């Protein structure tokens, strides 16, 4: 067997070591440190948005956005059924209830045409998730939000640098959230950020992120609201700044890898790729494929086992929010049908997707897949 190819691994080839070393040598290792501000400014600017607030992961970034917008008990928040559980959990943390919408069969994002049927008098916000780096239909979602007076919080955890109609993801929201987990297109190991163009929202995010310490009050340690410690350390921000400096390179690599997968699998029947809208630039966080077992001649589980025997790592796709015991017990309505989400979850998986993959590795993976079809 030749070398093992993991699903993902980080690429840390820029100024990461230099900046982290500087932070350690000067003793600035907490959240008070110049890299936090520099990373916030650099990443917000990369998104084309005025303000950024760094936090310790992408899950709390979503929670912080919801809290800053005043969403809480009794409210409903619309999210896709096909997403990572963090989107739903963050809503639960506020006491509000997540409400699910099925995925679109082509883009695998929230089906915008099915959002309005889920809106009630309690609905306060929509969280579109740019699944695997593929921008949602932000024209349709922004129009719905405007019509029904709802907030938009993009969960852009998987979509650093993606674009819709020439604008970066993260710039369509009241507040948008990002993750910098180790496998994301940009990483700090663990980390997250909210970005916003609205000064009021920015101030609220900063306030809630840091324990609701009084801003202009006469007495420190006097807290008017319940806050959170969601601060990011200067060490993580040092890595984040170095990553942001190379954001366009990483984006190009992921897009190129996705093109190679499509090219080398173009003559293989029964392999379905995610499609993006014509005005959407997908940054391909993960190269997911869905198997049509009748056309491919094998099931997804058989193919996953075969890839594993050949030293190629894969990962299953998300399980529908409507099938999560945790959310059902929390009080979510899990009774509806989410056929597209179930189809993705039952027939799809990720292929190796690291930015650093070589064309030779991708060729090898595709040959294993092609050689196994019947």
Ligand X SMILES: *Cc1c(COP(=O)(O)O)cnc(C)c1O
Nearest distance, CB of residue 80 and ligand X, angstroms: 9
Q: Which is nearer to ligand X, 133 or 270 (CB)?
A: 133
Is 263 a catalytic site residue? no
Least CB distance from residue 293 to ligand X, whole Å?
27
Distance CA 333, CA 327 (A): 8
Q: Write the Ramachandran bin of 120: left for phi over 0, alpha for psi from -120 to 50, otherwise beta.
A: beta
Taking the complex as a whole, the smallest distance from the CB of residue 183 to ligand X amounts, in Å, to: 8
184: which 2 tokens?
């994301």
Shortest distance, position 279 Cβ to ligand X, whole Å:
22
109 contributes a contact to ligand X by CB under 6 A: no
Give a three-class secondary structure readout of the chain: CCCCECCCCCCCCCCHHHHHHHHHHHCCCCCCCHHHHHHHHHHHHHHCCCEEEEECCHHHHHHHHHHHCCCCCCCEEEEECCCCHHHHHHHHHHCCEEEEECECCCCCCECHHHCHHHCCCCEEEECCECHHHCCCCHHHHHHHHHHHCCEECCECCCCCCCEECCEECCCCCCCEEEECECCCCCCCECCEEEEECCHHHHHHHHHHHECCCCCCCCCCCCCCCCCCECCCCHHHHHHHHHHHHCHHHHHHHHHHHHHHHHHHHCCCCCEEECCCCCCEECCCCCEEEEECHHHHCCCHHHHHHHHHHCCECCEECCCCHHHCHHHHHHCCCCCCCCHHHHHHHHHEEEECCCCCCCHHHHHHHHHHHHHHCC
Stretch that binds ligand X, among 28-36, 53-61, 96-104, 203-211 (CB under 6 A): 53-61
Q: Does residue 192 interact with ligand X by CB under 6 A?
A: yes
Looking at beta carbons, which residue is closest to ligand X? 58
Among 53, 66, 69, 84, the residue binding ligand X under the rule CB under 6 A is 84
Nearer to ligand X (CB atom), residue 40 or residue 158: 158
Asked whether position 158 contacts ligand X by CB under 6 A, the answer is yes
Of the residues 44, 101, 157, 280, which one makes contact with ligand X according to CB under 6 A: 157
* Number of residues lying near ligand X (CB under 6 A): 14
- By CB under 6 A, tell whether 54 contacts ligand X: no
Contact window for ligand X (CB under 6 A) among 9-17, 84-92, 219-227, 270-278 = 84-92
Complex with ligand X: residue 83 or 310, whichever CB lies closer: 83
CB of 200 to ligand X, least distance (A): 24
Whichever of 152 and 369 has its CB closer to ligand X, that residue is: 152
Which residue's CB is nearer to ligand X, number 83 or number 196? Answer: 83
State the binding string over 228-267 for ligand X (x if CB under 6 A, else -): ----------------------------------------
Q: Of residues 34, 105, 168, 184, which has the active-site annotation?
A: 184
CB of 57 to ligand X, least distance (A): 4
Where in the sequence numbering do the catalytic residues fall?
A: 184
| Binding interface with ligand X (CB under 6 A) | 57-59, 83-84, 86-87, 129, 155, 157-158, 179, 181, 192
């Amino acid at each position: 067997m030749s070398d093992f190819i993991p699903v993902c691994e980080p690429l840390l080839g820029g100024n990461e070591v230099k900046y982290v070393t500087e932070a350690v040598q000067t003793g600035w290792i907490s959240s008070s440190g110049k890299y936090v501000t520099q990373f916030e400014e650099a990443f917000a600017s990369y998104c084309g948005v005025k303000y950024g607030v760094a936090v310790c992961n992408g899950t709390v970034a979503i929670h912080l956005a919801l809290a800053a917008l005043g969403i809480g008990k009794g409210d409903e928040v619309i999210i896709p059924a096909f997403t990572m559980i963090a989107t739903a959990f963050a809503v639960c943390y506020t006491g509000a209830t997540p409400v699910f919408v099925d995925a679109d069969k082509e883009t695998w994002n929230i089906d915008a045409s099915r959002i309005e049927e889920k809106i009630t008098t309690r609905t306060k916000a929509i969280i579109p998730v740019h699944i695997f780096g593929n921008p949602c239909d932000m024209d349709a979602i922004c129009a719905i939000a405007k019509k029904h007076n709802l907030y938009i919080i993009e969960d852009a955890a998987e979509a650093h640098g993606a674009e819709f109609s020439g604008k970066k993801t993260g710039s369509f929201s009241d507040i948008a959230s990002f993750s910098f987990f180790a496998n994301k297109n940009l990483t700090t190991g663990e980390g997250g950020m909210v970005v916003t163009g609205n000064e009021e929202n920015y101030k609220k995010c900063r306030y809630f992120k840091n324990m609701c310490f009084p801003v202009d009050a006469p007495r420190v340690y006097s807290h008017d609201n319940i806050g959170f410690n969601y601060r990011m350390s200067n060490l993580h921000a040092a890595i984040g700044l170095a990553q942001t400096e190379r954001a366009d390179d990483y984006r190009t690599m992921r897009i190129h890898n996705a093109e190679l997968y499509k090219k080398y699998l173009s003559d293989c029947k029964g392999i379905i790729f995610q499609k993006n809208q014509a005005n959407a630039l997908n940054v391909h966080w993960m190269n997911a494929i869905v198997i049509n077992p009748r056309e491919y001649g094998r099931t997804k589980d058989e193919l996953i086992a075969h890839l594993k025997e050949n030293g190629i790592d894969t990962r299953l796709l998300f399980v529908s929010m409507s099938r999560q015991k945790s959310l059902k017990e929390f009080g979510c309505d899990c009774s509806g049908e989410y056929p597209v989400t179930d189809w993705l979850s039952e027939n799809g998986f990720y292929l190796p997707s690291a930015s650093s993959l070589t064309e030779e590795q991708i060729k090898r993976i595709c040959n294993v897949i092609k050689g196994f079809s019947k």
